[in-house]
Amino acid sequence: MTIEGARERRVRTGGIELCVAELGDPGRPTVVLVHGYPDSKEVWSEVAARLADRFHVVLYDVRGHGRSTAPRPLRGGFTLAKLTDDFLAVVDAVSPDRPVHLVGHDWGSVQSWEFVTVGRTKGRIASFTSMSGPSLDHFGHWINARVKRPTPRRVGQLLGQGAKSWYVYLLHTPVLPELAWRGPLGKRWPKMLERAEKVPGGGYPTASLPSDAAHGAWLYRDNVRARLRRPRPDAYAHAPVQLITPLRDAFLSERLYDDLDQWVPRLTRRILPAKHWIPRSRPDQVAAWIGDFITAVEGGRPQPTATGRHADRFGGRLVLVTGAGSGIGRATAFAFAEAGARVVAVDRDAEAAARTAERSRLIGAPEAWAETADVADEHAMEKLAERIHRAYGVLDVLVNNAGIGLSGSFFATSTDDWRRILDVNLWGVIHGCRLFGARMAERGQGGHIVNIASAAAYQPSRALPAYSTSKAAVLMLSECLRAELASQSIGVTAICPGFVNTAITSTARFAGVDAAEERRRQKSAARLYGLRNYPPGKVASAVLDAVAHNKAVVPVTPEARGAHLLSRFLPGALRRIARVEPRL
């Protein structure tokens, strides 16, 4: 199996031949991608294709894997020292005059930590991006620190990682791993990966998997026990490092990297709500982070560091917020911008959307754009989705925030009133979920949808029948969609604020009254909300927390949380409160 468009060459080193593939312009910065176990270089094919238009991309089959030859004998042929020899032979062949940017996944990352911390490679590596593979030296020191100074938390970390490392013990047993991989395990592995990790095929794994996995068992046998027992005391990185940590990794705890700052003077952390095989399951995000990191290093400047909440998670992610011209939408756009996300601000008011986008760029968004659309207009939303997907790509986070207010008794609320509030508050959410959520599902790399509902969704009121109905529908839609999309790693959250000081009060409709009385009530409502003075920025913080932790329903403000508790445990009390006629 060859990677489409790649140029292949053979590199001889230490009595073996390595199969090396190259894409892109050799005059550009060189990126070397090192695969893990039990993979071959084809695990990188999706990432490599996304990087090839900006960089000179190099992939090679580690000795004993893919189309590279295996050492004879196998025992002792896979030591970190020999893997370092292989790496130097490859970079001398593909980039003799310039240092390379190194990227490793799984065992590719384990061996790359060796490359970036030993003296003989100093000056040959410009940067290193690590995924799902710790340094064995750092791991050894991590274990020793917890054995020598045990606390309940540290003991729990040791036991947790010990359980995740079950496969390491099995790979140290003689003969059995080879028999399993050359037998039933090798045949079933592609389907197992597809089911457990949602990893698509597309030429991966290759037909060489059984022999790759059998040979690769010696990576563990030749290195793990010896290095964990006697970790090097000087394993300091001599190049900038970007650490990408998948939070749902079945084999490695994120706690393994707690002490990494002491070994890496220039460390950038990224986290991803994904499983182990992110080069296959999340190639868009992985390639974007690699490209941004390399570009920063090549430019001689530090990697841009966002300062907002959850910046390690949202940096570089593509986020769209409707109703972003003011209030909660504007604050949410700013919160994602401060976290380093790329922001699309959508609003009916073109000038307001432009102001939000401009401010987003100033406070941390690497890119921000303004788009104009009425969420109630299906055709306008379809055109918006087409523009977004063509110009910026598939969203990582969608925030359906746009909404309007309407107060008045049921019989005072006209059919047109009902139609307008449902068109905006409910159909606007439906259009967003349908048009942008479908692309998330098609991409197969997860994502998150946030629908701004309201405490009125579960708190009945004689004064808000239409508004409460629209928000209750949004809440139930969110719950149903969350159940449907869970299998595709797409989270759905309903945010339910209470009284928040935004412009919705001054623009809300009041059914059944004349224009003068409506203006009076708008001013009175705005004054009351102003006295309450709960800022939209706190709702925005709740949105980021909800996405980061994949929460289902999030009441915001004390009264919203109180009403939510009553709706669950004392619904009769809420019904009695609903009978009270509000005074404005």
Q: Assess contact for 458 and 496: CB atoms under 8 A.
A: yes
DSSP conformational letter for 29? P
What are 456's two structure tokens?
A: 């009125």
Q: Could you give the C-alpha distances from 105 to 11, 34, 133, 433, in angstroms and in order?
A: 22, 7, 6, 33
- Angle between helix 536-549 and helix 327-338 axes, rounded to 10 deg: 50
What are 450's two structure tokens?
A: 């946030």
3-state percent breakdown (helix, strand, coil) of the chain, nearest 5 = 50, 15, 35
Catalytic position from the list 37, 257, 458, 467: 467
How many whole angstroms separate alpha carbon 241 and alpha carbon 261?
10
458 included as an active-site residue: no
Q: How many CB atoms lie within 10 A of CB 278?
A: 24
Q: Assess contact for 347 and 376: CB atoms under 8 A.
A: no
b/e sequence 436-460, b meaning 16+ C-beta within 10 Å: bbebbbebbbbbbbbbbbbbbbbbb
What phi and psi, each to the nearest 5 degrees, are found at residue 235?
-85, 60
Give, for 549, the enclosing helix (H) or strand (E). helix 536-549
Which amino acid belongs to residue 291? G
**Strand, coil or helix: 128:** strand
Q: Assess contact for 505 and 522: CB atoms under 8 A.
A: yes
Q: Assess contact for 493 and 449: CB atoms under 8 A.
A: yes
How many whole angstroms separate alpha carbon 29 and alpha carbon 14?
27
> 30: closest CA among 112, 126, 108?
126
Q: Assess contact for 584 and 519: CB atoms under 8 A.
A: no
How many whole angstroms separate alpha carbon 346 and alpha carbon 290?
28
> 115: closest CA among 217, 33, 199, 24?
33
How many whole angstroms separate alpha carbon 559 and alpha carbon 405?
18
Q: Assess contact for 104 and 132: CB atoms under 8 A.
A: no
Residue found by looking up tokens 């071959």 in the block:
40
Residues labelled catalytic: 467
